[in-house]
Structures are given as structure tokens and as C-alpha cells.
Amino acid sequence: MSSILADTAPRFLADYRPADFTINTVNLTIHLDDTCSQVVSELTLERKGDNQQALQLNGEHLTLVSLVLDNQALSKEQYQINDTLLIIPASSLPDRSHFTLIITTEINPQENTALEGLFKSGDAFCTQCEAEGFRRISYYLDRPDVMATFTTKVIADKSLYPYLLSNGNKVASGELSNNKHFVTWHDPFPKPCYLFALVAGDFDLLEDSFTTASGREVALEIFVDKGNLVKAEHAMTSLQKSMAWDEETFGLEYDLDIYMIVAVDFFNMGAMENKGLNVFNSKFVLADSHCATDSDYFNIEAVIAHEYFHNWTGNRVTCRDWFQLSLKEGLTVFRDQQFSAQMHSSAVTRIQNVRLLRSQQFAEDAGPMAHPIRPEKVLEMNNFYTLTVYEKGSEVIRMLHTLIGVDKFRQGMDLYFSRFDGMAVTCDDFINAMSDASGKDLAQFKLWYSQSGTPVVKAQEMFDSQTNIYTLTLRQQSPITKNQQNPQALHIPVKVELISENNDEPSQSELLELTQTEQSWQFNGFTSKPTLAMLADFSAPVKLIFDQDNTSLLTIMKQADNSFCRWDAGQKLLMSYLHQLTFDIDYTVPTELINAINDMLNSGGDRAFIAEQLSLPSFDEAASLMIDIDPIALTNAITTLAIFIARGTQQQLLTSYKACQQDDLKENAVANRALKNVCLAYLSLLPEYQYLVTQQYQQATNNDDILQENMTDSLAALTCSSKNNLDDLNEQLEHFENKWQQTTLVMDKWFALNASVVSEDVFAQLDKLLEHPQFSLKNPNRARSLISAFAMNNPKYFHCQTGRGYQFLANQIAKLNEINPQVASRLITPLIQYKSFAPAHQKLMKAELVKLQALTNLSNDLKEKLDAALN
Ligand code: PHE
Ligand code: ZN
């Protein structure tokens, strides 16, 4: 056995080659055991063409027991093995193009804290194979363009693991000796191994069904920890809604007889779309009004939809290679956003999508890990499940939808499925289908897939009062970076609305296609200069530079037809005050803001929308629009502006608060709570209203009438207490902990609240919480609830001048590097974005990165980001 260097070099999109071999069928027999599970994998392989290549199978953390090729055991001289590969040289392979290989390996699920491959979540066995986790289960051609038909026999103790699940349909089951049993599953759809799944455990099972448009009955099964059955009902309803929506919107039906979802507590991500057997982070399944907030409900529905939609966009048509990840993710996020917009308020849903994009994705695109939605170079694939691939990817699909329209988009989807069903394809294949179906030339549009960074669009307007011609000039520029020296002009759909001053001249809405570096458009039909509302519906993921005075912004807020523009104008106004306040904390905010906010509160419009209008830009949203950020000045500016608003509008805030509280109408309950809690957040800044926080906490958490208790209101009150470090805080936190100590997902909220307390004491608290009996770095939700909550929700102390906040984060990342590299790598995001901060902060952050880079056993996940950040 010779040794070969382990595979730690980056891979490039440009190096893609089709595989030399493919796998047609996989027959797995898996004997489950905590510390030594045995996997027997029987592969039928096929050599493609007449190549003379060795067969190289991926495998990591595996113990090879035996290797049998066409019924002949291979001796150790006939193959080579290293940390990442099993290589069978051509000389050991038969001349025939078809042959079989039986690989027996052993793995240790109990020790698998990385939660990739086969691992234990509590008492259950569970798998996670995307992106490259199957290689931790058995040696395999672990790449998405190798698609095989899987048959899986799971064997385990019958009492401990009454449910044995895998993909597809159940084809056999039975008893074995030693109190064991088995179940065999067959998935008729060829799939890449990243869609393989296996679960074994003891669960409560919620059962229902769905009849497809063509009349097939599908069994729906949701598996949850014992005692949680009622908490799965919302997920079940969400699933049924998603199935109906995909039929109505895209004519897409489900294709197996059974759809299973398993909720587990140990999971790195949100959920996984394994064929017929989704595995979910329990936080995206379990909900009842006592333990889940309105946004938890919303997110559960969205994630259930997202994974369901993957059955077509991801599973039936999958990715040729991992560089194409946005093919399935961007498209599926777009689909789940459209679904949510239709189930709820489309205006509010869109605003929340944009808030996420502008606060997090823009920062990523401006940082050292910036990449196109189709990356070109990858060291650790897990690092590319990013806001860019997902959220910007979705924006790119949305632009396409805007450019060709809803009907042509549907025809494009139909064509895409008719061309590529059952295949592993590329982003180009998708765009070509859209182009062919719509007749639209999308050659330039494709640049969105290869260029990174947020494009800047500058607008300039001119009104000629002689000719009454209004001219709009747009210029675009994508950022120049080390990896992108010469960015080209993109094809950018810019929806504009020209708001007329005169009642007898209608406003005009237009879709402009900006394709040049600089382009102008002329409009007539106005006898005085109209007010321009740009980027209606946020029609493109760009930064807009357009100097508009407050009068114009107020006009847009009041008069624009497009709800997004009305909201965005308000945010711009608020942002301009924040900007002023960061330079001069004594700056006097004009009282026109108070009038505008009182008008909003009095408007009688959708309360959820008003709640969004009233919400200040978050720290991250504001930061993404600034350079050389002084984080302390920014947090102070946000607080000062909030207090100014609270003081100026307190009467109206109180009236609205009470009105929302009283109108406990079932249909509008979510919107009522949204506005009520925004009002409370403002009022809690003023000592004379802090009694409201105490009252609301009591009502929502400690009520004689348990039906009155509500997590949204309880958490909103606690958040006010923790943000303002109110007198009752400690008592409330203690009460909340006692009440919820048995409920894992609520305890995550409790840890997050503790980490968000705006007080110098937070550091002592963090140290104490690390020692809390319920804290564990091995549980990703719990690790994030403390560490990420601190770094993301507590900017004042995360960025404190002593550097203690940065140090705390780096210390936990160092520990997680050994336990769970994926989680470690996600947590490092705020540190690697150090270059957007003022020099003193940069220096402190960078020092922590340098320390991390020196770790022994540094994972590829962290290495890739640290190298990018520090060079
Ligand atoms: N593919 C999953 C989704 O987007 C995300 C995921 C990626 C989950 C990698 C686990 C591991 O739905
Ligand atoms: Zn997805």
C-alpha cells in the first residue's frame, strides 16, 4: 500500500471533467451500532468510454474491512488507500465495462461530532450527506453527477430503534435474532449520494395524506421526539400547502407514495431535502403558540416549503457539480419566497427578504469570501452554502422572472424539466431553457453568475421645464477586487415609478433594462418635475446611489404605488439621520420625522407593514451602507435615534400599542403583535413606560389563563428588558428558565437573550453560561444560541474597545474547530469582515484571526476563510 497525499488543494470550476466511471445501482446493508456501525455497499459500476483510468472512490474517517471485486476478494497489494481516497488501479480492474464491487467498512457514529455522514442526534441515528458527507459512510464516487438507484437495508435493535427509515418506498421488513429487526427501502429515482438518508430511532409519528392533482394518494409522515406530536401540526399543514402550491403554480406533483420528515435536535443547517426523507433541524418543525413565536411559525412554513420544492428543483433535476449549487438553491429560495409572499403579505415578505440580503449578503459580497453565485474556486464546499448562493441566487432568478414575466417564466420552467428531468445539469442549462422558452437574449444576463460583489447603480435626473422632458441617467459599476479586475456591465432590470405632482397627470411605472455602463431614458407627460421612486420591489440586488432630499423621500413614503418603495424611502430617511448621528451624536433630528411616524401610526394601513416602516435599520443594515464603521458610534446613534422617536411619538405609540392589544382578532393577530411589539420596543426606552414591559411579560408568560400565554409577546418583552437592561431582567430570566428548562428550543431563546443583554456584565454572564448544565458546544443550535447571538445581536459589547468580545468569539471558534468545523466556520463571519471597521477595531479583530490561523489541526473550513481574510 503506497501513500498518496491527502486532498487539501482547492478545486476549480474550470477543471470539471465528467467521471470516468459511473455507478448504476447501490445496495446498502447497514448494521447500526453506536460505536461500530458496519456498512456493506454493493455497487454496480460502469466504465465510461474506453478510458484506462484507475477507479478512485472518496472516503473519509472509514475503516475498510474488505473489498470484493466481481466476487473476488482484493488483496492489499491490489489497491491503495489514504485519508480521503480508495484507489483501485486499472491493472486491478476487469476489462469489461461493467463490474461489481462490494465494500465493507466500519464507522463510529457516536464520535461523529461534525454531524456529517452517520451520527447520533440524542438517541436516534441520522445522516447528513450534502455536500460531501456520504464519503463518511462508505467509499463512493461522491459527486452529484454520479446518479444511482439505491436499495437500503437498515438493521438495528428493535426496542431502541422501532423506526428504520431510508429513501423511497418500504419493500421488506422482518425480525432478526438478538432482538434486532430490519427494513429495506428502495428508491426508484436515480440520485446522487448527497440525497441519501437514513434515520433510526423511537419517535412519535404524525400521519396525514395528500391527494395529488392526478389523483395519487401520498402518505405524509412527520417523526418527532416523543411527546411532541401536537407541535408537528403546523409543519404538516405547511407541507400540504406547499404541495398544493407547487401543483398550482408550476404544475409539479410529488412523485413517490410517501413523504417523510424527521425532526432532530442535532443538525448543522436548517433542513435537508433527501429524497422522500427530509431531515430537519427540530427548530424548523416544532411549534405551538406557547413555545414558538410568529416568526418561528413563518420560518417553519418557509423551510418546509423550501425542502419540498427541492423535490423538483434539486432532486429530479440536480447539479452537475457543486459549483452549480445556486442552480438548485437560488431557484428553490425564489420558489419558497414566492410561496411565502402568496401565503402572507407579499409586501412584508419582500421587505424581510431585502432586509436579510442588504444586512448579510451585501456584507459577505464586500468581504474577503466574496464569490459569484456560481463560485469558481472551492477548498471546502461547506463554506459555500452562503447568503450569496442562496439569497443573491434567488434575486438573480427573480430578475429573470421580472425580465421575461410570469408566463414566460413558467414556460421556461416547463422546458427546463422536459429537457433535464433525471439529469445533473448546470446554471447555463437553466438560463438557456429560460432564453429558449421566452425568446429573450440572456447572454449578458449570465454575467450575474460569474461576477461577484454588489453592483452600484448611480441615478441622475434632469427635468427640462422648456420641453417638459424628464431624463433619467443610470450608471453601473461592479466592484473591482483582486479576483475581479475587469467587471463587465450587467443586465439589470430597474423598475421605476415617476410620481406626478399634478392630479391630472398620471404617475408612470416602467421597467428599464440597464445593460450599458451608462444609459439614459426620457419621459414626457409631466408639466413639472415628477418624484422618482427607484427599484420598485427591489428589482435588482444593487446598491443605489441617488441623492434625494427629504421632501422627495416623504413624497415617496406617502404616494408611491409600490409598497417596497414606500418602505424603502422611510428607511433612507432614517438612515440619513443615523449617518448624521454617527458623526455628531448631538445632531438635532428634524421634527418632520416625528410627523411622518405619527402619520404612519395613524394611517390605518396593514399593521405588519407599519411595523416594518417603524423598525430602524439594524446595526448590520446600517453598517453595510457605511465605510470605516465606528461600531460604538453606530450603536449609540441607533439608540439616540430610537429615543428621539420614542419621545416624540409616545402618545401615538401608546395609543397604537393599546389598540393592537385590544384588537385580538384571530385573523390579524400576527400583524397586531408585530406592531404592538415595535411600539413596546420604543416605549421601553422611556423609564415612564417600562411598566408596560413588566405587564406584558406577566400576561404572556405567567398568566392564570394559560391560553393567554404567547411566546411572541413574552419574548418581545424580554428582549426589551435585555436590550435596556431593565430592573426586572434578572427576575424575568430566572422565571423564564424555570418555566422552560425542559423545552430545548425555548432554552435556545433563553441563552440568546442572556447573550444579548446590553451591559458590561455580559462577559461574566457568558462565562457562566458556558458552564451551564444545559450548555454544550456539541449541539449546533445551542452553540449558536449563545455565541452567535452575542456576536450578532449585541454589537455594543461584541465590538467593545477592549477587544473582549472578539476574544470571546475566537476562543469558542477554536474549541469548535475540533468539535464541529462547519459550525466553527459559520461563526467566524463577523470577524473576517474586519476591513469594514475603523482601524482600532480592525487591529483587534485581525489579532484574533491571526491566533486562529496558528491553531494546530485547523480545519479546511476555517483555513479557507482565514487565508482569504488575512492575505
Ligand atoms: N440543501 C439544504 C437546503 O438548502 C441545506 C443543507 C446543506 C443542509 C448542507 C445540510 C447540509 O435545503
Ligand atoms: Zn435548499
CA 183 / ligand 1 centre spacing (Å): 26
Mutate to test the pocket of ligand 1, among 127, 264, 273 (most ligand atoms within 8 A of CB): 273
Whether 848 is catalytic: no
Give the separation between CA 520 and CA 498, rounded to whole angstroms: 15
Q: Whose CA is nearest to atom 8 of ligand 1?
A: 272
Cα 693 to the center of its chain, rounded Å: 32
Residue 30: φ, ψ to 5°: -120, 115
User: Cβ(365) to ligand 1 under 6 A?
Assistant: no
Q: Is the pLDDT of residue 592 over 90?
A: yes
**Of 239, 241, 229, whose CA–CA distance to 259 is shortest?**
239
Give the separation between CA 151 and CA 808, rounded to whole angstroms: 47
In terms of Cβ atoms closer than 10 Å to its own Cβ (0-12, 13-18, 19+), residue 775 is: middle
Q: Whose CA is nearest to atom 3 of ligand 1?
A: 272
Give the separation between CA 833 and CA 367, rounded to whole angstroms: 5
CA distances from 389 to 101, 357, 847 (A): 36, 11, 29
- The residue type at 768: K
User: Cβ(823) to ligand 1 under 6 A?
Assistant: no
Please tell me the least confidently modeled range out of 8-17, 123-132, 665-674, 838-847: 665-674
Tell me: the pLDDT tens digits for 56-79?
Answer: 999 999 999 999 999 999 999 999
Percentage of the chain with pLDDT > 90? Answer: 97
CA 333 / ligand 2 centre spacing (Å): 7
In this prediction, residue 666 has a pLDDT band, given cuts at 50, 70 and 90, of low
- The residue type at 92: S
CA 35 / ligand 2 centre spacing (Å): 31
For the CA of 314, the closest atom of ligand 1 is: 1
CA 696 / ligand 2 centre spacing (Å): 37
Residues in the chain: 871
CA 414 / ligand 2 centre spacing (Å): 20
Quick one: average pLDDT of 528-550?
97
Q: Whose CA is nearest to atom 2 of ligand 1?
A: 272
Residue 173, number of CB atoms within 10 A of its CB: 13
The interface predicted TM-score of the complex, written ipTM, equals 0.99
Mutate to test the pocket of ligand 1, among 128, 274, 385, 822 (most ligand atoms within 8 A of CB): 385
User: Cβ(335) to ligand 1 under 6 A?
Assistant: no
Radius of gyration of the chain (CA): 28
CA 307 / ligand 2 centre spacing (Å): 6
Tell me: the pLDDT tens digits for 688-742?
Answer: 999 999 999 999 999 898 888 999 999 999 999 999 999 999 999 999 999 999 9
Residue 801, number of CB atoms within 10 A of its CB: 11
Helices (H), 288-445: 294-309, 325-343, 346-356, 362-366, 387, 393-420, 427-438
| Bridge partners, residue 508, by sequence | 498
User: Cβ(861) to ligand 1 under 6 A?
Assistant: no
Q: Is the pLDDT of residue 6 over 50?
A: no
User: Cβ(128) to ligand 1 under 6 A?
Assistant: yes
Residue tagged 486491478 (cell numbers): 92
CA 618 / ligand 1 centre spacing (Å): 27
Give the separation between CA 504 and CA 528, rounded to whole angstroms: 12
Tell me: the pLDDT tens digits for 620-663?
Answer: 999 999 999 999 999 999 999 999 999 999 999 999 999 999 98
Tell me: the pLDDT tens digits for 186-222?
Answer: 999 999 999 999 999 999 999 999 999 999 999 999 9
Q: For the residues of 788-831, what is the DSSP string, one character each?
A: IHHHHH-HHHHT-TTSHHHHHHHHHHHHHHHH-HHHHHHHTHHH
What is the value of pTM for the model shown?
0.98
Q: Can you read off the three cell numbers belonging to residue 610?
A: 407599519
DSSP state of 598: H
User: Cβ(307) to ligand 1 under 6 A?
Assistant: yes
CA 507 / ligand 1 centre spacing (Å): 44
Quick one: average pLDDT of 485-501?
98
Quick one: average pLDDT of 429-447?
99
CA 288 / ligand 1 centre spacing (Å): 25
Give the separation between CA 373 and CA 393, rounded to whole angstroms: 6
User: Cβ(132) to ligand 1 under 6 A?
Assistant: no
Question: Which ligand is nearest to the Cα of residue 144, counting in written order?
Answer: 1
Give the separation between CA 263 and CA 121, rounded to whole angstroms: 10
Q: Whose CA is nearest to atom 1 of ligand 1?
A: 272
DSSP state of 845: H
Q: Can you read off the three cell numbers belonging to residue 260?
A: 417523510
Give the separation between CA 522 and CA 543, rounded to whole angstroms: 23
Tell me: the pLDDT tens digits for 95-147?
Answer: 999 999 999 999 999 999 999 999 999 999 999 999 999 999 999 999 999 99
Contact predicate 398/334, CB 8 Å: yes
For the CA of 382, the closest atom of ligand 1 is: 9
CA 327 / ligand 2 centre spacing (Å): 10
Residue 42, number of CB atoms within 10 A of its CB: 16
CA 271 / ligand 2 centre spacing (Å): 8
- How does strand 11-12 pair with strand 258-264? unpaired
| Bridge partners, residue 462, by sequence | 471
Mean pLDDT taken over the chain: 97
What count of Cα atoms within 13 Å lies in the side-chain half-sphere of residue 269?
19
| Bridge partners, residue 140, by sequence | 58
Mutate to test the pocket of ligand 1, among 269, 308, 335 (most ligand atoms within 8 A of CB): 269
Q: Is the pLDDT of residue 519 over 90?
A: yes
Q: Is the pLDDT of residue 405 over 60?
A: yes
User: Cβ(271) to ligand 1 under 6 A?
Assistant: yes
Q: Which of 307, 391, 612, 709 is catalytic?
A: 307
Specify the pLDDT at position 4: 42
Specify the pLDDT at position 735: 98
Q: Is the pLDDT of residue 5 over 90?
A: no
Give the separation between CA 678 and CA 148, rounded to whole angstroms: 52
Specify the pLDDT at position 574: 98
Report helix, strand or coil for 380: coil
**Of 337, 211, 232, whose CA–CA distance to 286 is shortest?**
232
Burial track 300-314 (b if 16+ CB lie within 10 A, e otherwise) = bbbbbbbbbbbbbbb
Q: Whose CA is nearest to atom 12 of ligand 1?
A: 272
User: Cβ(336) to ligand 1 under 6 A?
Assistant: no
Specify the pLDDT at position 7: 52
Q: Whose CA is nearest to atom 11 of ligand 1?
A: 130
User: Cβ(198) to ligand 1 under 6 A?
Assistant: no
CA distances from 778 to 32, 267, 403 (A): 21, 10, 46
Q: Whose CA is nearest to atom 5 of ligand 1?
A: 272
Q: Whose CA is nearest to atom 6 of ligand 1?
A: 272
Q: Whose CA is nearest to atom 9 of ligand 1?
A: 130
Question: Which ligand is nearest to the Cα of residue 131, counting in written order?
Answer: 1
Contact predicate 606/671, CB 8 Å: yes
Q: Is the pLDDT of residue 24 over 50?
A: yes
For the CA of 333, the closest atom of ligand 1 is: 4
User: Cβ(218) to ligand 1 under 6 A?
Assistant: no
Mutate to test the pocket of ligand 1, among 128, 132, 142, 272 (most ligand atoms within 8 A of CB): 272
**Sign (positive/negative) of CA torsion 73, 74, 76, 82?**
negative
Q: Can you read off the three cell numbers belonging to residue 458?
A: 448611480
Tell me: the pLDDT tens digits for 757-804?
Answer: 999 999 999 999 999 999 999 999 999 999 999 999 999 999 999 999
For the CA of 306, the closest atom of ligand 1 is: 12
Specify the pLDDT at position 707: 86
